[in-house]
Structure formats: structure tokens, C-alpha cells
Amino acid sequence: MWKETKVVKNVGYDNFDARFGAYATDEAEKKSILHIGDKEILLDMVTCVKSYGDKVVVQVDDGAGLNDAMLYTKDGELLNVVNNTLSLTSKANLRYLNVKMEKGLKRIYNLVDIETGKILFKENIQNRKIFVFNDMIFSNRDNIVIRYDWDGSIMWQHNYEPDFNVTIDLGFRLEGVCGGKLWVKSKHDRHEILLAIDVNTGELVKAFSDSEEDTNLPHCNYGSFGGVYLNCENDHVLIVTMDREFNNFMNFVDAKTLDVIEKTDYTINYDYDDEYAFRISEFQGDYITVKIMGLNADLANFTGFAVYNYKTKEVVFAHRLITSEQAADGLHISTLSPLHYSPNSGCFLVHDNSENLHIFEDVKE
């Protein structure tokens, strides 16, 4: 049975991780205390706590606009420190960090392996942040995506503007790699296009949008879409779409074949005490975590959450965290912070906008 076992005050919205229950509390004089394993470690101001494998990465503010990244074991043993790192990207491989190589305004970067401290590229990269997904290295700028080898040499680069009949804007972000495809979103004048790119060649395999006139290349029309969520454990991609009658759907796509496995209404089997809407937070393994708001009583704020098994169509755990009265006073689940659910550790972490971290555990009775 899931129960709230602890509420911790003064936790930043990105300063916790459910896999090992690690979190950092803000203290006086720009200090933080990292709670990891059975240890409490005094650090400079923590800006991020994330984990990969059996390790935890903690970033602290270096006072100069960058971060010192510290690598710990899950029990709190310090393994290594890398300086001058950019903020972590949760979807990327956390072992390899973007590091600014020169002080000042110049944007010159390289990748550093946090486990060894080794700089990876022979030459620095200018004006391009670098992302590692599934042990593949990419960058994205000006609608040109580049894939690099591990020494920094270019394996391929592709300008995607000629592939489309409309204006595209890939921005600087990449969604990630799933099913042998690199997934990238374009958004221009509220018109969104999702690109599925072959990781080996850089060729556009298929585009997803609500207009087949966008490209002469293979295209799929699911309707206009919003959220895109990659599930590398199952090689599934969840695409949230809306048709011309403003009905919302969840499309589960096989990332390898790009076929739609299932299309369902954008809803979950959960009886909230009010008409509700929800927003997907994470999609991993068999589970989707969602933030829930009551449309009538919650003033359009997130007050509850649920863990939904998309294969069995069952809600595993759901809870209204914040009452309507508290919502009226401005309290709500943090908009920016994802819900952290780890079925293996039996831990669920939820953050509210008053900097409280709510810890739920699967308590055996």
C-alpha cells in the first residue's frame, strides 16, 4: 500500500531522484545538504540531482553561471568531480556532460566522461551543445542535426529544411533516441511537426503532423500533436494528438516500425472527485505518470497525481495531494518538476510550489 511517509521542506524542483531516494535541501548562506544513502553531505547550492545506473550525479552552483558536477555512488561515496558543466538534460546520457571550455561569452564546448574525467573530442565544438543518447552523440542548430563519432569527427550532418514544403524550426532540443530513430520536434507558428530520423544515415524516415502537404517524404497524419514521450525500455513512443473536433488521443507507436500499436482516448480509468484534466509527466516501462487537476475546484492547478499501467489500463496508485482549500490559497503540484516514480525502489516523489518534497513509499502491511 502506498503511503506518504515524509514531507521534506526547502527542496528545489530539480533536486531529487526517486531511484535511490536522494534529494538536497536548501540551507542558509547558499548551502545545501545532500541526503543520499544514510549520509547527509554539506555542499554549495545544489541545482540538480539525477541518477543513472548505480550512480547519482549532483550539480552545484559554481558562482560563475556554470556548475560543478559531482558523481556519487548510491550510498553517498564521492567518486569524481567535473567543473564548468552546463545544466543536465534529463533525457540525455548523464555520464557524458557538456563542459564550457573557455571563460567569457564564447560558446565553446566539449564532452567530459564524469566517471573518468576524460575530455572526449579532439577539438572543441563552437556554438553547439552536445547530447548523448543511447551512446550516440548529436547536436542540433539552425535546422541542421549532426551526429559525431566519439573523437568528435562528424559521421553525418543533415539540413532538414529542404525536406519540407513549410518553414520548420528545430530549435536546439532533441527528444532522444528510441527504436533506432532520433526524434526531433519542429514548432513554427503553432504548427508542430515530429521528425523520426535514421540514426545511422541522418535521413528523414517519417514526419508526423496534421498536414500531408508539409513534406513529399513519408508522412503520417495523427492530427495536431502536443507531447511526445519516448520509452526506450519498450521501444514505444507516446504521441498526444488532437483531431479537428478537438478530441484528444494517446497514440502508442512502435519506434522501430513506426506503426501505431494502439490509439486510445486521452483519459485514464480514475474516478477523481471532480471533472478533471491531466498532463503526462513521464512514460517509462509499463507506466505513465500524470498530474491531475480538478476543472471546477482547483483553479486550473495540479492537485493530484496517478500512476497508470498503459498495458493493463489500470491505475496503480493515485492520490489527491492538495485540497481544494489549499489550491484556493495558491498551493499546487509544481508545474516544472516531473513526477518521480521508481517501481523497483518502491518510491514516489512529488514536489509542490512551496518547495516541499512529498515522499510516498510502498509500505507492506
Q: What is the pLDDT of residues 134-159, one digit of tens each?
A: 999 999 999 999 999 999 999 999 99
Cβ burial, residue 316 (10 Å; 0-12/13-18/19+):
middle
pLDDT, tens digit, 9 for 90 and up, residues 85-139:
999 887 899 999 999 998 777 889 999 999 999 999 999 999 888 999 999 999 9
Asked if the model's pLDDT at residue 298 lies above 60, the reply is: no
Q: Most confidently modeled of 47-61, 297-311, 334-348?
A: 47-61
pLDDT surpassing 70 at residue 304: yes
Q: Say if residues 145 and 181 touch (Cβ distance below 8 Å).
A: no
Asked if residue 318 has pLDDT above 70, the reply is yes
Cell of 108: 565553446
pLDDT at 282 over 80: yes
Grid coordinates belonging to 234: 519498450
Residue 203, pLDDT > 60, answer: yes
Task: With H, G, I as helix, E, B as strand and everything else as coil, classify residue 78.
Answer: strand
Point out which residues pair with 277 in neighbouring strands.
Answer: 293
38 grid coordinates: 544514510
| Window from 99-103, 190-194, 344-348 with minimum mean pLDDT | 344-348
List of residues 6+ apart from 132 with CB closer than 8 A: 92, 93, 95, 96, 111, 138
DSSP codes joined into one string, 147-172: EE-TTS-EEEEEE-GGG-SS-----S
- Helix (H) and strand (E) counts in the chain: 1, 32
Give the pLDDT band (50/70/90) at residue 172: confident
Supply the pTM of this predicted model.
Answer: 0.92
Mean pLDDT, the chain, whole residue set:
92
Q: What percent of the chain has pLDDT over 70?
A: 97
DSSP category for residue 223: -
pLDDT band at residue 254 using 50, 70 and 90 as cut-offs: very high
Asked if pLDDT for residue 295 goes beyond 60, the answer is yes
Q: What is the pLDDT of residue 267?
A: 87
Q: Distance between CA 93 and CA 137 in Å, rounded? A: 10
Q: Does an H or E element contain 328, and which?
A: helix 324-328
- Strands 304-309 and 287-294 turn out to be antiparallel
